[in-house]
């Protein structure tokens, strides 16, 4: 028999369910998360009147099937519980999560407890002590280093107990490594109070005591690492990444470091390591790298098992207010792209902060997803200590002036509870100040801080200048090469390759048998195979890298019938190191930052990032400028990261032609990077192997081919890989007497093949062609040797495809001037100066290319418009 439901009760109950739902969805809008309590509009749907409820209805009994609370409820008590859970010091956004199980899990954690945990007296004292550490440090700095820039944490000091609580939880969860990334705000405080950096060292940096042994960067960019012990005795290694001023770019780097640490430890579950990123409110909302990094979070190639994000939301960015800084409601709204909760919490309520951090860490642990804490506070001072904030935010700063320090507020709360006396609290503070005084006097001593040595996994590696030419054995016995090529063509019996792939596999078999010359991708696969079999982990990522943009690589094969994948390079030998080749998402900054970070914690691997076309790397310019090119000088951090950048003029337009070689050459100094443009598969093979095998760790930028991938002349033999090594200079392939040669062409990369073809076609015996395969560090001595046979005064032309203001010419011109080694007049032949790298017209490209070649040989038609391309500046 159907149960009759009183329609009035049913209607009431419907309204109650809606009410519960709306508090879950929108309760955060009226949560008291802002310590300044600035007015904010309240959504009408959170008012009982919106549902037609009056005060008289508050005693009505209601059923709370979905609300995670046991026991009878009246409408009044339900409302109170909803408000306590969702609208006190914590506002939570989680109803955008699609998976009901995840939402239920969160509800079960928040609703029965009204999103609050009872802290023990011991825990409360620990929070108070950490707050005291934070506050005392800031006060001390202001007093002792008046007016110095420190980017104080004042107004958001709860960050320090928050981190402390996060580490406590991490210890319980078995996390043994945490990589932290953070910007300027509160960084010195974190270094001193969390990262275990000695305060005296920080004070020396304030006083600029060690300026002669200058470390190359300002104090609030320096990283540090330390061993942290939790109260339960768990040990966690903390690494705070060095970072540039460029806000948020370190995020991707920190993730890459974590992933490398996990991979190195064989932590496939991603359970031992964690990334903790601390963001600013303006930068989290404003910088695109935040989105790129969030997007990595659940991808197989990039996941680290969840990142803890903490936004230190001081509700301002320099002088910019939130309404000028973002179009979204919260600074954190971009994070709603992930299936994760976002907790907004009032930083002046340290116990709410404690609740949020525990819940966040549990969520991360349970679901291996990111989680975001948006901790509201304010910035007591200007952007830096010398800045006047009331010029631009007068009203805000009147409100801020009225706030008592967060420690004071919390202490009053504890005094009321009676767990501590003011004398005890004062004693904690006095002790901390005493320690700082001692550190200050120590900092004034004459002790010289020795430069940091490379330690741990880096102890076998070196940076600095390129070591004198000690030959590295990069050649590999021919039989091994043949067998690795052959192995790559053997597929499991149940694997059905794409019909067209069979031809590619056959070609590889022929290469293995010595019946077919080696092409570019075969040489690359042999470099990877040989290194993996020597124990080097190979990791390569990039857009469409698994197949290869030019359909040249086919490193990951897809079964033609069911799509499952097979990676031949992972099946070479049982004891080989992993070869990981992954498609990246369509991102440059995020992915390149990640791989750079990975390389920081994997010196004994070959870590490569490939641009789809070379020009796209400039979307990641800050990673190149701020990390790759300069990290060693600024922070003594080494990296052996390889950038593969398809480059070459094939008539594809202003983009897809140039990897902006000039930009890299412009960045070179102090042997900071290597720039090469190899012309043969064997050169590429030896160069990749040299990168892993030499203990010298420097980023390697390789201009890689497109048309040369299938060029019949751009081939090598297996013997070329079984003998020799990477040659920085390739001498002319034709043996000519000095008397014969009237003109020497110097070039790099693809143009060589066109020059050579022209020389053969025109049977020109008077021109020698020398290839510069390594552009930086510039192989001056080998070049001298290559030029030695020729007569003094022979004209040397640098010939390049790029416009005269691009390519290698401007760099070589600065290096050599207009004479090479005092012996040869030196000039450049290039396309005319241009604002774009190349023309958009294929026909025009062809004509330009032809003219260029003719001019290189001195046979250009003089009737053509005068000097269209010039011979280089000056
Ligand atoms: C990419 C980048 N652009 C601009 C700046 C200059 N800058 C330094 S701090 C800052 C404001 C940052 O605001 P927020 O992220 O809220 O951090 P807060 O200083 O408030 O803690 C700006 C614009 C920078 N450091 N990096
Ligand atoms: Mg801010």
Q: pLDDT of 741-765, one tens digit each?
A: 999 999 999 999 999 999 999 999 9
Whether a cis peptide bond, with omega within 30° of 0, leads into 149 is no
The residues facing 828 across adjacent strands are 798
Which ligand approaches the C-alpha of residue 280 most closely? 1
Residue 296 to residue 272: CA distance in whole angstroms = 19
pLDDT-based confidence at 861, cuts 50/70/90?
A: low
CB contact at 8 A, 260 and 600: yes
pLDDT-based confidence at 865, cuts 50/70/90?
A: very low
The preferred substitution site among 281, 292, 318 for testing ligand 1, maximizing ligand atoms within 8 Å of CB, is 318
424 Cβ contact list (under 8 Å, min separation 6): none
Compute, in angstroms, the gap from residue 558 CA to the centroid of ligand 1. 45
pLDDT-based confidence at 869, cuts 50/70/90?
A: very low
CB contact at 8 A, 705 and 648: yes
Residue 377 to residue 345: CA distance in whole angstroms = 9
Among 38-42, 237-241, 283-287, 491-495, the minimum mean pLDDT is found in 38-42
CA 325 to ligand 1: nearest atom: 16
Q: What is the structure's pLDDT at 215?
A: 63
Q: What is the structure's pLDDT at 451?
A: 60
- Closest residue by Cα to atom 26, ligand 1, is 246
Helix-strand-coil split of the chain, %, nearest 5: 40, 15, 45
With 50 as the cut, is the pLDDT of residue 103 above it?
Answer: yes
**Taking the model in full, what pTM does it have?**
0.96
Percent residues over pLDDT 90 in the chain: 86
> Nearest 5°: phi and psi at 210?
-100, 35
Q: What is the structure's pLDDT at 218?
A: 84
Residue 628 to residue 637: CA distance in whole angstroms = 10
H or E segment to which residue 263 belongs: helix 250-264
pLDDT-based confidence at 205, cuts 50/70/90?
A: confident
Q: Report the candidate in 208, 182, 205, 209 with the shortest Cα–Cα distance to residue 195.
A: 182
Q: What angle do CA 802, 713, 659 make, to 5 degrees?
A: 25
Q: What is the structure's pLDDT at 3?
A: 62
Is the shortest distance between the CB of 316 and ligand 1 below 6 Å?
yes
CB contact at 8 A, 337 and 294: yes
Average pLDDT over residues 305-324: 97
With 70 as the cut, is the pLDDT of residue 449 above it?
Answer: no
For the sheet containing 235-240, what is the strand order?
Answer: 90-93, 342-346, 371-376, 307-313, 273-280, 177-181, 235-240, 224-229
With 90 as the cut, is the pLDDT of residue 558 above it?
Answer: yes
Using a CB cutoff of 5 Å, list residues around ligand 2, an ion. Answer: 280-282, 314, 316-317
H or E segment to which residue 346 belongs: strand 342-346
Is the shortest distance between the CB of 329 and ligand 1 below 6 Å?
no
Q: How many CB atoms lie within 10 A of CB 615?
A: 20
Instruction: For CA atoms 840, 844, 845, 846, give the dihedral sign.
Output: positive
Q: What is the structure's pLDDT at 870?
A: 45
Is the shortest distance between the CB of 318 and ligand 1 below 6 Å?
yes
pLDDT-based confidence at 448, cuts 50/70/90?
A: low
H or E segment to which residue 606 belongs: strand 605-610
Q: What is the structure's pLDDT at 444?
A: 87
Average pLDDT over residues 617-625: 98
- Closest residue by Cα to atom 17, ligand 1, is 280
Compute, in angstroms, the gap from residue 309 CA to the centroid of ligand 2. 15
Residue 213 to residue 109: CA distance in whole angstroms = 53
Among 206-215, 630-639, 659-668, 749-758, the minimum mean pLDDT is found in 206-215
Average pLDDT over residues 89-94: 98
Q: How many CB atoms lie within 10 A of CB 398?
A: 10
With 90 as the cut, is the pLDDT of residue 229 above it?
Answer: yes
Q: What is the structure's pLDDT at 210?
A: 74
With 80 as the cut, is the pLDDT of residue 186 above it?
Answer: yes
Average pLDDT over residues 474-478: 98
Is the shortest distance between the CB of 290 and ligand 1 below 6 Å?
no
pLDDT-based confidence at 411, cuts 50/70/90?
A: very high
Compute, in angstroms, the gap from residue 39 CA to the centroid of ligand 2. 19
Buried b (16+ CB within 10 A) or exposed e, 752-772: bbbbbebbeeeeeeebbbbbb
Among 19-23, 86-90, 618-622, 736-740, the minimum mean pLDDT is found in 736-740
CA 156 to ligand 1: nearest atom: 21
Is the shortest distance between the CB of 280 and ligand 1 below 6 Å?
yes
Is the shortest distance between the CB of 317 and ligand 1 below 6 Å?
yes
CB contact at 8 A, 304 and 258: yes
Average pLDDT over residues 461-472: 87
Q: Report the candidate in 613, 607, 655, 648 with the shortest Cα–Cα distance to residue 628.
A: 607
With 60 as the cut, is the pLDDT of residue 782 above it?
Answer: yes
- Closest residue by Cα to atom 1, ligand 1, is 246
Which ligand approaches the C-alpha of residue 220 most closely? 1
Average pLDDT over residues 788-809: 97
With 70 as the cut, is the pLDDT of residue 507 above it?
Answer: yes
Average pLDDT over residues 680-688: 98
Is the shortest distance between the CB of 382 and ligand 1 below 6 Å?
no
Strands 342-346 and 90-93: antiparallel
Q: What is the structure's pLDDT at 220?
A: 79
Q: What is the structure's pLDDT at 161?
A: 97
Instruction: For CA atoms 127, 128, 129, 132, give the dihedral sign.
Output: positive
Percent residues over pLDDT 70 in the chain: 96
What is the residue-averaged pLDDT of the chain?
94
384 Cβ contact list (under 8 Å, min separation 6): 149, 150, 151
- 837-852 pLDDT, tens digit per residue, is 999 999 999 999 999 9
pLDDT-based confidence at 453, cuts 50/70/90?
A: low
Q: What is the structure's pLDDT at 13?
A: 84
- 135-164 pLDDT, tens digit per residue, is 999 999 999 998 888 899 999 999 999 999
DSSP structure class, residue 540: E
Compute, in angstroms, the gap from residue 171 CA to the centroid of ligand 2. 30
Is the shortest distance between the CB of 375 and ligand 1 below 6 Å?
no
CB contact at 8 A, 609 and 642: yes
869 Cβ contact list (under 8 Å, min separation 6): 804, 829, 830, 831, 832, 851, 852, 855
CA 281 to ligand 1: nearest atom: 16
Q: What is the structure's pLDDT at 213?
A: 67
Residue 466 to residue 557: CA distance in whole angstroms = 39
With 90 as the cut, is the pLDDT of residue 232 above it?
Answer: yes
């Amino acid at each position: 028999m159907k149960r009759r439901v009183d329609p009035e009760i049913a209607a009431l109950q419907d309204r109650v369910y809606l009410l519960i739902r709306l508090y879950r969805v929108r309760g955060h809008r009226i949560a008291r998360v802002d310590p300044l309590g600035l007015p904010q509009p309240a959504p009408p749907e959170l008012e009982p009147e919106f549902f037609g409820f009056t005060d008289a209805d508050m005693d009505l009994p209601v059923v709370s099937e979905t609300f995670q609370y046991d026991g009878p409820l009246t409408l009044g008590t339900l409302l109170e519980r909803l408000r306590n859970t969702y609208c006190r010091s914590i506002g939570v956004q989680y109803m955008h999560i699609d998976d009901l199980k995840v939402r239920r899990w969160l509800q079960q954690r928040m609703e029965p407890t009204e999103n609050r945990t009872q802290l023990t007296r011991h825990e409360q004292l620990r929070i108070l002590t950490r707050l005291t550490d934070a506050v005392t440090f800031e006060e001390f700095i202001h007093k002792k280093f008046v007016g110095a820039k420190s980017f104080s944490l004042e107004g958001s000091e709860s960050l320090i107990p928050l981190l402390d609580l996060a580490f406590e939880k991490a210890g319980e969860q078995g996390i043994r490594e945490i990589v932290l990334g953070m910007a300027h705000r509160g960084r010195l405080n974190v270094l001193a109070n969390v990262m275990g950096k000695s305060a005296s060292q920080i004070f020396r940096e304030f006083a600029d005591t060690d300026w002669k042994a200058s470390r190359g960067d300002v104090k609030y960019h320096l990283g540090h690492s330390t061993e942290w012990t939790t109260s339960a005795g768990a040990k966690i290694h903390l690494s705070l990444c060095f970072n540039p001023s460029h806000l948020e770019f370190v995020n991707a780097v920190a993730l890459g470091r974590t992933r490398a640490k996990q991979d190195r430890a064989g932590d496939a579950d991603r359970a031992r390591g964690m990334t903790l990123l601390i963001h600013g409110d303006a930068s989290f909302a404003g910088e695109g790298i935040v989105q790129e990094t969030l997007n990595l979070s659940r991808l197989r190639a990039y996941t680290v098992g969840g990142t803890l994000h903490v936004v230190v939301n001081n509700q301002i960015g320099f002088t910019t207010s939130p309404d000028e800084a973002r179009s979204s409601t919260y600074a954190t709204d971009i994070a709603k792209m992930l299936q994760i909760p976002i907790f907004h919490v009032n930083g002046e309520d340290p116990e709410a902060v404690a609740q949020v951090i525990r819940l966040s860490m549990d969520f991360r642990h349970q679901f291996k997803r990111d989680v975001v804490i948006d901790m509201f506070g304010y910035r007591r001072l200007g952007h830096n200590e010398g800045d006047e904030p009331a010029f631009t935010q007068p009203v805000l700063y009147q409100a801020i002036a009225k706030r008592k320090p967060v420690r004071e507020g919390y202490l009053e709360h504890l005094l009321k509870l009676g767990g501590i006396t003011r004398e005890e609290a004062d004693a904690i503070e006095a002790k901390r100040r005493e320690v700082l005084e001692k550190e200050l006097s120590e900092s004034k001593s004459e002790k010289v801080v020795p430069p940091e040595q490379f330690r741990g996994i880096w102890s076998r590696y070196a940076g600095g200048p390129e070591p004198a030419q000690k030959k590295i054995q990069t050649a590999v016995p021919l039989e091994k090469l043949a067998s690795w090529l052959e192995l790559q063509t053997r597929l499991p019996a149940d694997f059905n390759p794409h019909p067209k792939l069979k031809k590619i596999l056959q070609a590889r078999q022929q290469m293995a048998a010595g019946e077919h010359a080696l092409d570019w991708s075969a040489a690359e696969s042999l470099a990877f195979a040989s290194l993996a079999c020597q124990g080097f982990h190979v990791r390569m990522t990039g857009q469409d890298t698994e197949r290869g943009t030019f359909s040249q690589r086919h490193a990951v094969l897809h079964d033609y019938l069911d799509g499952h994948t097979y990676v031949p390079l992972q099946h070479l030998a049982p004891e080989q190191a992993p070869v990981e080749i992954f498609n990246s998402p369509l991102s440059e900054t995020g992915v390149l930052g990640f791989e750079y970070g990975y390389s920081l914690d994997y010196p004994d691997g070959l870590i490569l990032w490939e641009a789809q076309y070379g020009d796209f790397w400039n979307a990641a310019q800050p990673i190149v400028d701020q990390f790759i090119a300069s990290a060693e000088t600024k922070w003594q951090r080494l990296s052996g990261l390889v950038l593969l950048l398809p480059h070459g003029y094939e008539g594809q337009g202003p983009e897809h032609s140039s990897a902006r070689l000039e930009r890299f050459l412009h960045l070179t100094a102090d042997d900071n990077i290597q720039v090469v443009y190899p012309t043969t598969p064997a050169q590429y093979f030896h160069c990749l192997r040299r990168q892993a095998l030499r203990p010298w760790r420097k980023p390697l930028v390789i201009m890689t081919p497109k048309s040369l991938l299938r060029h019949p002349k751009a081939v090598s033999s297996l013997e070329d890989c079984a003998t020799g090594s990477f040659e920085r200079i390739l001498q002319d392939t034709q043996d000519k007497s000095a008397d014969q040669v009237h003109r020497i062409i110097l070039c790099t990369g693809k143009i060589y093949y066109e020059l050579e073809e022209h020389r053969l076609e025109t049977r020109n015996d008077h021109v020698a062609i020398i290839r510069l395969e390594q552009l930086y560090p510039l192989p001056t001595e080998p070049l001298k040797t290559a030029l030695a046979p020729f007569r003094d005064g022979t004209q040397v032309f640098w010939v390049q495809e790029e416009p005269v203001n691009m390519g290698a010419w401007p760099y070589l011109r600065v290096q050599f001037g207009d004479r090479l080694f005092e012996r040869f007049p030196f000039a450049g032949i290039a396309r005319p100066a241009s604002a774009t790298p190349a023309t958009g017209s294929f026909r025009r490209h062809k004509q330009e290319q032809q003219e260029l070649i003719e001019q290189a040989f001195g046979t250009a038609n003089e009737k053509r418009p005068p000097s269209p391309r010039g011979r280089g500046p000056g």
